[in-house]
């Protein structure tokens, strides 16, 4: 999710501290990439294209630089698989995704946005004090009946912004990078951001939360915006 504001922002009620996990040498993860450098995938990725990929912790950046997957790449519509508890390589993926989150100036980034079809998310909504959430297998276990209107953007749909309805508060349970069970009680922008990123793990984009009419209008607007900014296609 792109940095942004919602109508009635409130502070998140929990700050969790996280530490880097252990170093792991070799790992195998499921990666689907539209145009990964080392991937055999072509840029015209079709649904279901998911290739096994070996990453070596110390050489991960040499093996594959994470690239942003943008709409309408069908990877963004796929449901992600749960991460096996204790699976190797996850800590490195979280670190690399966190780097990209700051590089691309997003508030949140879900693994399918970098071509990894696993239930992994990083979030930093730039509150004070700043906090980076690294989430493995996150699940919404409670959502408020109260809804708020959230002004959202998405790194995978550059420039476009739309108003979406979200639950005002949610509880999310997840595993941290050491596979420890954690919980976030979120309100305001963090709540909206969590819902946005967790949707990505089920192949749902924020524009899919719009009415049919508004969605198709948003898609037209998206393509128009890309034509107006062909040099970088994004923000
Ligand atoms: Zn997004």
- From first to last of its 235 residues, the chain has per-residue pLDDT tens of 877 544 444 333 222 333 333 333 233 333 433 333 333 333 332 333 333 333 333 334 444 689 999 999 999 999 999 999 999 999 999 999 999 999 999 999 999 999 999 999 999 998 888 899 999 999 999 999 999 999 999 999 999 999 999 999 999 999 999 999 999 999 999 999 999 999 999 999 999 999 999 999 999 999 999 998 755 544 4
CA distances from 66 to 15, 31, 42, 44, 156 (A): 28, 11, 15, 17, 13
Residue 12 tokens, joined:
């998140």
154: left (phi over 0), alpha (psi -120 to 50) or beta: beta
Helices (H), the chain: 60-63, 90-103, 188-201, 212-228
Q: Which helix (H) or strand (E) holds 54?
A: strand 51-56
Q: Residue 147: count other Cβ atoms within 10 Å of its Cβ.
A: 12
Cα–Cα dist 126/139, whole Å: 22
- Of 115, 120, 111, the residue nearest 37 (C-alpha): 115
Q: How far is the CA of 191 from the centre of ligand 1 (A)?
A: 14
Determine the distance separating the centroid of ligand 1 and the alpha carbon of 147, expressed in angstroms.
19
Q: Is the separation of the CB atoms in 1 and 196 below 8 Å?
A: yes
Active site residue 18: no
The radius of gyration of the chain's CA atoms, rounded to the nearest angstrom, is 17
Q: Contact at 8 Å (CB) between 109 and 197?
A: yes
Domain limits of the chain? 26-228
Q: What is the pLDDT of residue 232?
A: 53
CB-based contacts of 71, cutoff 8 Å, min separation 6: 154, 156, 157, 205, 222
Q: Which two tokens stand for residue 220?
A: 């037209």
CATH topology of domain 26-228: Peptide Deformylase (3.90.45)
Catalytic residue, from 2, 92, 96, 197: name it. 197
Distance (Å) from CA 153 to ligand 1 centroid: 7
- pTM over 0.85? The answer is no
Q: Ligand 1 mean position to 25 CA, how many Å?
A: 30
């Amino acid at each position: 999710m792109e940095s942004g504001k919602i109508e009635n922002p409130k502070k998140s009620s929990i700050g969790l501290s996280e530490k880097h996990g252990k170093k792991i040498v070799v790992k195998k993860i499921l990666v689907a990439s539209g145009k990964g450098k080392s991937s055999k995938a072509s840029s015209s990725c079709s649904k279901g294209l998911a290739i096994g990929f070996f990453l070596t912790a110390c050489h991960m950046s040499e093996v594959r630089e994470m690239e942003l997957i943008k709409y309408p790449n069908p990877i963004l519509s796929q449901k992600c698989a749960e991460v096996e508890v204790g699976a190797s390589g996850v800590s490195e993926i979280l670190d690399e995704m966190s780097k990209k989150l700051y590089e691309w100036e997003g508030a949140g980034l879900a693994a399918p946005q970098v071509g990894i079809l696993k239930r992994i998310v990083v979030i930093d909504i730039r509150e004070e004090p700043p906090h980076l959430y690294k989430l493995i297998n996150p699940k919404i276990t409670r959502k408020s009946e109260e809804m708020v209107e959230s002004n959202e953007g998405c790194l995978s749909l550059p420039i476009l912004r739309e108003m979406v309805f979200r639950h005002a508060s949610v509880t999310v349970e997840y595993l941290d990078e050491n596979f420890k069970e954690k919980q976030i009680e979120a309100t305001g922008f963090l709540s909206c951001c969590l819902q946005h990123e967790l949707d990505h793990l089920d192949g749902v984009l924020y524009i899919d939360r719009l009415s049919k009419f508004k969605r198709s209008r948003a898609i037209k607007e998206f393509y128009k915006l890309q034509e107006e900014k062909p040099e970088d296609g994004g923000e």
